[in-house]
Amino acid sequence: MRASTTLMLCLLAACAALPAHARTVYRCVRDGTVSLSTAPEPGSKCVAKHIDDDAAKVPNLWGNLGVVKGTLYERQQDGRMVYGTRRLPGAVPVFAFTVQTPPGSSAHAGLGRLGPPRLDRYNAEFRAASKKTGVEDAMLRAFAHAESGFDAKATSGKGAQGVMQLMPQVAREYAVRDPYSPAQSIDGGARHLRQLLKRYKGDLDLVAAAYNAGIGTVAQYDGVPPYRETLDYVAKVQALYARYRTAMAKTARGSR
Catalytic residue, chosen from 41, 125, 136, 147, is 147
Q: How many residues does the chain have?
A: 256
Angle at 162 between CA 157 and CA 165, to 5 degrees: 60
Q: Please give, one letter per residue, the 3-state secondary structure of the chain.
A: CHHHHHHHHHHHCCCCCCCCCCEEEEEEEECCEEEEECCCCCCCEEEEEEECCCCCCCCCCCCECCEEEEEEEEEEECCEEEEECCCCCCCEEEEEEEEECCCCCCCCCCCCCCCCCCCCCCHHHHHHHHHHHCCCHHHHHHHHHHHHCCCCCCECCCCCECCCCECHHHHHHCCCCCCCCHHHHHHHHHHHHHHHHHHCCCCHHHHHHHHHHCHHHHHHHCCCCCEHHHHHHHHHHHHHHHHHHHHHHHHHHHCC
Nearest residue to 3 (alpha-carbon basis) of 47, 29, 37: 37
For this structure, is 74 an active site residue? no
Residues 6+ apart with CB under 8 A from 6: 18, 19, 23, 25, 38, 51, 58
Residues annotated as catalytic are: 147
